[in-house]
Amino acid sequence: KLWNVAVVGATGAVGAQMIECLEERNFPVGKVRYLASARSAGEILEFKGKPVVVEELTHDSFEGIDIALFSAGGERSREFCPSAVQAGAVCIDNSSVWRMDPEVPLVVPEVNPHTIAQYTTKGIIANPNCSTIQMVVALKPLHDYATIKRIVVSTYQAVSGTGKKAIEELHDQIRAMLQGKPAECTVYPHRIAFNCLPQIDSFKENGYTGEEMKMVNETRKIMEAEIGVTATTVRVPVFYGHSESVNIETGRKITVDRARELLKSAPGVELADDPANGVYPMPIDAAGQDLTFVGRIREDESIENGLNLWIVADNIRKGAATNAVQIAEILIENYLK
């Protein structure tokens, strides 16, 4: 059976990656429809070498669509997902709008694929935040073995997480500075070139940012556990690939060797942990891959059952597009008729 797929936000960084994932994973696509703002309508993209004209996103865009992959920002998702569902499509949404809705499953296929069954409630499945996805992929096998009680995470997030304009801004600022010219800041509140910004999204009452609270709340929903989570999310001058320093406290001891064993066979994980030989996860290795790389595994000797990990993944692929397409694959495999 072939499935008619709409990509909403097709001209964005994640939308373009969704299209590439559908192609490279040979998703059984019948008709494909690329939807974007009026500004992008008329652009010609491709699917499997054939031209596809980008159409303006309207409430009537979803006739005959089986699966709608959304990555066009929260406002578009909030406004148009219900129309897509109304037209008979299942929405897989990359925005944060529906993630904490109790009637919407928040899914990482390696962690909680069983929750996809709940798609029938609202016709929407939420794709988690990129920094959450890579962390739970790595922590799931450790949690199953030793029950994680607490997570302390600091992230080092690539500018591609903000989108195309941020990628351009970093390029432009580096070029300007190397030419001895001033760096212009239009996307971020401060210069990102050769700098680190401890702010992703806006600040909340409790002093955390939206990004940090996403990691706290989404992790607990996906892992279906009352784990204590605290996060500091930082934007760094890297183009692709989010890195995370993660400290966990577990109910029972996990030795480094046991952790390596568990991670070596964990779905979606690649162990990169031979520091003596300079082997550890880095964005330059993770970019372009769908795996979550884990290394720098060492006991946290300051507490009884503590472990430190370094986790890196491509934030546009596994952090967004690949995860969404993997959800769609399970959907057509096990649920849609």
Dihedrals φ, ψ of 22, to 5°? -60, -40
Residues 151-180 that bind ligand 2RA (CB under 6 A): 157, 161-162
Name the one range near ligand 2RA by CB under 6 A: 128-136, 167-175, 260-268, 324-332.
128-136
39 is in an annotated binding site: yes
Residue 286 is assigned to a ligand binding site? no
Is 160 annotated for ligand binding? yes
Q: Is 234 annotated as a binding residue?
A: no
Q: How far apart are CA 98 and CA 85, in angstroms?
A: 14
Catalytic residue among 21, 81, 130, 143: 130
Does 324 carry a binding-site annotation? no
Q: Does 129 bind ligand 2RA (CB under 6 A)?
A: yes
Among 67, 90, 130, 192, binds ligand 2RA (CB under 6 A): 130
Tell the smallest beta-carbon distance from residue 120 to ligand 2RA (Å). Answer: 28
Q: Is 127 in the site for ligand 2RA (CB under 6 A)?
A: no
Return the DSSP state at 273: -
Per CB under 6 A, does 219 bind ligand 2RA? no
Tokens of 4: 């008619």
Q: Judged by CB under 6 A, which stretch of 4-12, 31-39, 125-133, 299-307 contacts ligand 2RA?
A: 125-133
Which residue, 297 or 325, has its beta carbon nearer to ligand 2RA?
325
Is 11 assigned to a binding site?
yes
Residues 10/45, Cβ–Cβ less than 8 Å: yes
17 binds ligand 2RA (CB under 6 A): no
Catalytic residue flag (residue 114): no
User: How far is it, in rounded angstroms, from Cα 325 to Cα 29?
Assistant: 12
Name the closest residue to ligand 2RA (Cβ).
161
- Phi–psi pair at 204, nearest 5 degrees: -100, 175
Tell me: does residue 200 bind ligand 2RA (CB under 6 A). Answer: yes
131 belongs to an annotated ligand binding site: no
Min CB(182)–ligand 2RA separation in Å: 25
Interface with ligand 2RA, residue 306, by CB under 6 A? no
- Whichever of 232 and 305 has its CB closer to ligand 2RA, that residue is 232
Sign of the CA dihedral with 312 first, then 314, 317, and 319 last? positive
Six-digit token string for 52: 């596809």
Cα-Cα end-to-end distance for the chain: 9
> 22-36 burial string, b = 16+ CB within 10 Å, else e?
beeeebebeebbbbb
The 3-state DSSP composition of the chain as helix, strand, coil percent (nearest 5) reads: 35, 25, 40
Alpha-carbon distance of 250 to 303, in angstroms, equals: 10
CA distance 262 to 266: 6
Distance of closest approach, residue 315 Cβ to ligand 2RA, in angstroms: 6
130 given a catalytic annotation: yes
**Per DSSP, what are the bridge partners of residue 59?**
none
Tokens of 124: 């929407």
Under the rule (CB under 6 A), what is the footprint of ligand 2RA? 129-131, 157, 161-162, 200, 211, 315
- List residues with catalytic annotation: 130, 242
